[in-house]
Structure 1
Amino acid sequence: MNVENTQVQMRKGILEYCILHIISRGEVYASDMLEELTSARIIVVEGTLYPLLTRLRKAGLLEYKWVESTSGPPRKYYKLTDDGKSFLSKLEETWDELMYSTNQIISKNKKESK
């Protein structure tokens, strides 16, 4: 079994959650999201981000607006809808539960190895 494949799947599993968190801070440009996700080692390619943003928008969780740029073409800025805020809140509850459960299991392994 290839550990890198599992690591990629783990990152993909939390990508949507991380994107919604980034956008929850306020209107954000896609390349800024990409930069933050890349620096956090969650995502490294545009081809993953843009289809996910489109899917989230079609699901009614995001909306965007075009803003003129002084340094090039207009930019698309994303923000959460009310449904997106509610969705993120539910994901936060799930994340907290998963973190708690995972830490319970991991801490048993650490105690047993001492």
Structure 2
Amino acid sequence: MAKQMTEMLKGTLEGVVLALLREQPAYGYEITARLREHGFADIVEGTVYALLIRIEQRGLVDVERVPSEKGPPRKVYALNTDGQAVLDEFWSTWGFLSDRIEALRTDTPPEHA
């Protein structure tokens, strides 16, 4: 089941991270910690950092460099309006897919067929 979970999570992790950033701006390690608090214990920091680079390049977040007590400044990511639009689309798609998957699982027609 772990391999299947990993593959499914790859397709949804961007939406999950955007949802976390909607709640509150954060830097990479904070995002990883918040993912773990929400039960995504197997996600490694490298995966999160690679995703943050992609969503920054796509213009879905605003980035602020904040001084750090240790080392270089931290990049704090905040969801912007483009990111919110992508998140809204993610939730819409998630609702559509989850309705149909649940209908298949329970062998009942979907409500919004």
TM over 0.5, shorter chain: yes
Q: Retained in 2: the 8 A contact 1:66–1:75?
A: yes
What is the aligned partner in structure 1 of residue 3 from structure 2?
5
- Give the distance between the partners of 1:42 and 1:53, measured in 2 at CA: 18
Q: Following superposition of structure 1 onto structure 2, how do residues 48-59 of structure 1 map, counting pairs within 5 Å? A: 48-59=47-58
SS in 2 for 1:77: strand
Quote the residue 1:44 is aligned against: 43
Q: What aligned pairs does 1:54-69 form with structure 2 within 5 A after superposition?
A: 54-69=53-68
Name which of structure 1's ranges 23-32 and 87-96 shifts more when overlaid on structure 2: 23-32
Partner of 2:80: 81
Supply the distance in 2 between the matched residues of 1:50 and 1:13 (Cα, whole angstroms). 16
TM-score, normalised on structure 1? 0.82
CA-based RMSD: 1.7
Tell me, in whole angstroms, the C-alpha distance in 1 between the residues paired with 2:12 and 2:105: 19
The code of the aligned residue for 1:38 comes to R
Kindly tell me the number of residue pairs found equivalent between the two proteins: 106
Secondary structure class of the residue paired with 2:66: strand
Per the normalisation by structure 2, the TM-score is 0.83
Tell me how far apart the structure 2 counterparts of residues 60 and 43 of structure 1 sit (CA, whole Å). 27
Whether the 8 Å contact between 1:61 and 1:83 is mirrored in structure 2 is: yes
Q: Residues 28 and 77 of structure 1 are in contact (CA less than 8 Å); yes or no, is this contact kept in structure 2?
A: yes
C-alpha distance in 1 between matches for 2:42 and 2:18: 14
Equivalent position amino acid for 1:17 in 2? G
Aligned to 2:67, the other structure's residue is in SS state strand
> Which of 8, 22, 25 does residue 23 from structure 2 map onto?
25
User: Once the two structures are superposed, what CA deviation does each residue of 1:51-102 show, in whole Å capped at 9, x if it has no partner?
Assistant: 1110111011112101123x32332210112111111111110011111111
Query: What is the rounded CA distance, in whole Å, between the counterparts of 1:14 and 1:30 in structure 2?
Result: 18
Larger radius of gyration: 1
Q: Distance in 1 between matches of 2:82 and 2:48?
A: 20
